[in-house]
Amino acid sequence: MAEQLLALAELAVRTAERMGAESAEGYVRRSRTTEALLERGQVAAGELREDLRLIVRAQVGRGLGVGFATSTDPAAVRAGASQAVRSAASLPPVGPRWAGFPPRQRSRSARAPARRLRHLPTDLAIEGVSRMRDALGEHEDLRVLAGGVRETEFSIAVANSAGTSAIMTQSKIFAYVETVGRSGTTTTPACRAFAANSSVLPEVEQLAEEARADALEGARRIPVGSATAPVIFGPHALSFGDLGLVSYLLAGAVSAEHLLRGGSALRSAQGRMIASEAITVAEEGAALKWAGARPFDDEGIPTGHHPVIRSGRFQGFLFDFQTACELRQKSTGNGSRDLATGAISVRPHNLRLKPGRKPLADLIAGLRRGYLIKALQGTHSGSPHSGDFSAVCSQAYAIRDGEIAGGVAGLTLTSNLFSILRRVEAVAAEERDCDGTVVAPLLVRPLRFVAKR
Amino acid sequence: MELRLEEVQRTSIEVQDGELSGVATRPHVGLAARVLVRGAWGFASGPGTDRIAGRVERACRIARAISTHLRRPVRLAEVPAVQASLRKRPRRDPLEVPLEEKAQLLATLHRELRGLEPRTKSSTVMYEDLSGRKWLLTSDGTSFRTELLAVYQYTTAQGRGGSKIGAVKDEFGAVEHGWEHLERRERPAEVAERLARKLACQLDGKRPRGGSPPCVLAPILTGLFGHESLGHLCEADLAEHGAFAGSLGKQVGPEELTLIDTGHAPEGFGNLAYDDEGVRTRPVRLIDKGWLSGLMTNREYAAALDLPPTGSARAESYQVRPIIRMRNTFFERGSAALEELLSGIREGYYCVDFKGGQMEMNSAFHVGVQEGYEIRRGKIGGPVAGLAISGLATEALQRVSLVGRDFGMESGVCGKDQEAYTSDGGPHLRVERGGIVVGARQ
C-alpha cells in the first residue's frame, strides 16, 4: 500500500514537470483512525475515520503553486498537479526567502520502520475503553466526563524533482480519560489522564486510576491564599496537546521560525545556561518507540537526535529546510506540513525531556509545603517568543508534610518559562509519552502564586 | 441513520511580511454515516461520495460491537422531518474572485501596519474562504441541502521595542457575506489599525499588579467571558458535570444579566438555520435576568435531560460527528454609560481585547488580555502589557455590578474538540473587587 502511495507522489511530480514546472514535490498521506469512546459514563460510541490527502507543490519561475487531490485515481492526481502548475504560473512570486525543495533524500531505511507494527483492531479499542470504564468504578463524588482509545495508522510518501523518494507506515495509539470530582458545592476542573504509544495499548487501568484519584482528591478542597511555594509540574502541565510549558512555550521558543520572525528570547543563547543543570532536552525524532517519532519529516528529510538543552546549556534551534537555508544551517528534519494549505512549518516530532532518577513520590515526600500542578489553563495566551505567560493552576493540589492534602483552586502563576527552567531542582523518573513530547514531572524552587485572598 | 455529504472548495492564502508565502485551493469532498444500532452510536467517514453502502455498513458494524458494552441505550428526542434547500447570496462569491486579487489585497496589510507601528518586526495574514454545499439525509425523513459560505482571516503580528517582545492577533469572519466583507467591512487598513494599537499596548505597557481589583470588560472581553465561563458550561454535554449542574432554575448572577445563544444574530459568524442533525435552530436564554434558565442541546441530550432540542449540534466537517456547540452568544445590553462603569474605581483594569481564552468544568476561566489599560481614579490610564485575568465564573458573576448600554460583537473560532465559527459579544461590564484575579510576575 505504501509503495502505491509513493507511486502516486512520483506521478504527481512527473506530471507537474511535464506541464512546465521547473521543480515539484508530491506528498501523500493516507490515514485510518478507529476510536471507541466513553460518553455519558458508558462505552457508547465507536468511530472509523479515513482520510487521503495528496498535495502537489510546483515551482514555475519564482511562483509556487499548490494542488490537491483526495483520491488515488491517477486522473485526480494529474488534476492536482495541473492545479499546482497553473497557480504557480499565475500568482505573484513567493518572497526571496523561498529556497526551493530539499535536495535528493534517499534514506531507504525510511521505507519501513525497524519495529514491527502491531495493529489495534476496533475490537481491541472497544475492549480497552471498556476496561478503562470498569477501572474507574463508581463513587458518589466521581463523574466520568469522557474517555477513549484511539488508534491511527498512517502512511506517508514524499517525492520531489531532486529525486527524493521516501515512504513510511506507522501507527500510534492514544488513550485518554477525563473525570470531574464533585463534593457538596465543590466541582473540580476536568482531571485528565492520557498517554500515547507507538505500538501497544497504553495502561488504561492505570490512567483510569489516576483520573479517579485526581478527581476525588481535588474534591477535598483546601483554601489557599497568595503564596510563594515550591512546586512540582506534572506531565500534563508540561504537555497537553499544543498547550503546555514544554509543548507550546519551549517547542515554540526553539523553533527557527520564531528566531526569524519576531525574534526569540534564545537568539543569542547558543552555548549559554538557560536552565538548571537538571534539564536536558533533545529532539529525538528518530526514536521510533515514541508515538511522535518518525523516520523522516514531511519534506522527506531524515529525522534524528538533536540536542536542544544539555545540562542546562542551550544547544540549538530546530529547522525545516526553508529556515535552515535562511540561517545557513542544516535541516534537523522538523518540517511539518499543514494538510490544509500544504505549507511547511517547524515543529518538533518528539521533544524529550530527559527523566531524572527520583520517583515522583519521593519528590512529593521531600516537600513540607508546596503545590503539585497537574494542569495549567491559559499557557496558550503566553508568548513562545519571550517565554512570558500567565496561567491558572487549574488542576492543582496542596502538598503538606510530604503528602497530597487536597485540591486547591484559584491560583494564578505569572512567570517566564526560562525563569522556571532555571529554578528546576529535579526531574522525576517517570516519563510520559504525550505524542510529540515526552516529559517527566519537574520540581521547581519557590514561585509566586496569586490568589484572591 | 443519517448521511452527511459535503462538497466544498476551500482557499487558504498566507502572506508573511507582505509577501505571499502560500496559496492553496483544495476540494473538501466526503461522506459520513452515523447510525444508532441497539442504542449505540457507530460512525464512519471518509473522502469521496461514492461509497455510501460501505460507510453505512461499517458504521453499523461498529455500533453493534459497541452495543454489547452499553449500560443504557442512547435515545433521541423526536424532531420534525425537514425538507429544505437553503441558499447563500454573497455579492462576491469567494470562489469567483481571482486568487491574484485576494493575494494583492491581503499583502497591503503589512505595509499599513509598519506605517502605523514601525516597531513591527513581522506579520502573518492567514486568510481562508469556503464555498460549497452539504446535504443531510436521515431515516426520519429529513432531506436537507444547504449552501456553505465563509470568509475568515486570522492575523498575527510581532514587534520588538528595546528588550520587550510583543505578539498580538486579530481575527474576523463572516458566513453571510463573501469577499465583499474584506473589501467593505474589514479592510486591511482597519485591521492594521487594530493590530498597531494592540502591539503598542504590549510594547509600551507596564506590567500589571497582582490581586483581585475591580475590572471593566469591553464588549469583546464581555463576549469571551460569556462564551468561556458560562456558555460552555451551558452546553448540555458539559453542563451535566460542570459547576452549574443542578442549577437550572436557580439564580447565578444579578438581575441585570441575560445571556443568549442564538443561530440568528446580525452579522453572526455562528449563524445557521438548521444544525447538523437537521434540527431548526432556536435561541436559548441561558441566563435570564440572573437565573440559569436554559441549556444548549442536541437530540441525545434533549431526550436524556427532558429538554427541547435547540439545534446546537454542529460538526466541523463531514469527517467528524456533530457535538453540542455555541453559535452566537451574547449578554443583553443594560443601562449604564461607560463613565458610570469607571466611576469610583481607584485602581483597576480596563480589559479591551484578548489573546486566547479557556474554561474549566469548575467554571474557572482564563483570558490573556492583549489590549488592556489601567483605571486610575475613575479614568482610563496607560497601557498594560502581559495582563491575564482569571477567576471562577460562579463567583465573578455575583460580582457584576453594572451592565453597559452599549453593545458589540466579534467573531472567532471555538476549539472544543472541533473548530466552529462563533460570535460572542455584549455590552461593557463592571466586575467588582474579588471577582477577577490578575496575575503578576514575581
Alpha-carbon distance A131 to A143, whole Å?
A: 17
pLDDT at residue A341 tops 90: no
Q: Most A CBs within 10 Å: which of B41, B74, B323, B360, as the mutation test of the A interface?
A: B360
Nearest to B65 among A64, A122, A391 (CB): A122
The SS3 assignment for B254 reads coil
Q: Is A52 on the interface with B (CB under 8 A)?
A: yes
A248-272, pLDDT tens digit by residue?
Answer: 999 999 999 988 876 788 988 999 9
Residue A39 pairs with which residues in a beta bridge?
A42
For B355, name the nearest residue in chain A, comparing CA atoms only.
A381
Q: Report the predicted TM-score, pTM, of the whole model to 2 decimal places.
A: 0.94
Nearest to B388 among A66, A182, A414 (CB): A414
Residue B307 confidence (pLDDT): 96
Q: What is the mean pLDDT of residues A99-104?
A: 91
Cβ-Cβ pairs closer than 8 A, A with B, add up to 264
Cβ within 8 Å of residue B417, ≥6 positions away:
B323
Residue A112 confidence (pLDDT): 40
A10-61, pLDDT tens digit by residue?
Answer: 999 999 999 999 999 999 999 999 999 999 999 999 999 999 999 999 999 9
A356-395, pLDDT tens digit by residue?
Answer: 999 999 999 999 999 999 999 988 888 888 899 989 999 9
Phi/psi at B37 (5° precision): -120, 120
Window 148-177 of A: residues touching B by CB (8 A cutoff) are none
* Residue the block writes with cell 517582545: B165
State whether B14 and A83 contact (CB < 8 Å). no
Residue A107 confidence (pLDDT): 60
The residue that leads in pLDDT, A250 or A104, is A250
Stretches where chain B sits below pLDDT 70 are 440-442
HEC string of A159-207 equals: EECCCCEEEEEEEEEEEEEEEEEEECCEECCCEEEEEEECCCCCCHHHH
A272-328, pLDDT tens digit by residue?
Answer: 999 999 999 999 999 989 999 999 999 999 999 999 999 999 999 999 999 999 999
pLDDT at residue A444 tops 50: yes
Query: Could you tell me which of B423, B425, B427, B421 has the C-alpha nearest to residue B411?
Result: B423
Q: Is A270 on the interface with B (CB under 8 A)?
A: no
pLDDT band per the 50, 70, 90 thresholds, residue A116: very low
A218-240, pLDDT tens digit by residue?
Answer: 999 999 988 999 999 999 999 98
Instruction: Find out whether B65 and B125 touch, Cβ atoms under 8 Å.
Output: no
Alpha-carbon distance B91 to A344, whole Å?
A: 34
State whether A51 and B319 contact (CB < 8 Å). yes
Measured between CA atoms, how close is B104 to chain A, in angstroms? 8
Alpha-carbon distance B28 to B30, whole Å?
A: 7
Residue A108 confidence (pLDDT): 52
Residue B51 confidence (pLDDT): 87
Alpha-carbon distance B238 to A299, whole Å?
A: 40
Mean pLDDT taken over chain A: 92
Q: Is A341 on the interface with B (CB under 8 A)?
A: yes
Residue A386 confidence (pLDDT): 86
Instruction: Give the DSSP H/E element, type plus range, for residue A250.
Output: none
Residue A258 confidence (pLDDT): 86
State whether B391 and A414 contact (CB < 8 Å). no
State whether B158 and A262 contact (CB < 8 Å). yes
Instruction: Find out whether A302 and A296 touch, Cβ atoms under 8 Å.
Output: yes
DSSP at A18: H
Residue A215 confidence (pLDDT): 97
- Cell numbers linked to A331: 535541516
Query: Could you tell me which of A396, A392, A441, A429 has the C-alpha nearest to residue A413?
Result: A392
pLDDT at residue A113 tops 70: no
Window 272-331 of A: residues touching B by CB (8 A cutoff) are none
Query: ipTM, 2 decimals?
Result: 0.92
Residue B441 confidence (pLDDT): 61
Amino acid at A48: L
B90-134, pLDDT tens digit by residue?
Answer: 999 999 999 889 999 999 999 999 999 999 999 999 999 999 999
Mean pLDDT taken over chain B: 95
* Sequence-ordered alpha helix ranges (H) in A292-425: 321-326, 360-365, 417-422
Whole-Å CA distances, B88 to A237, B55, B132: 44, 30, 10
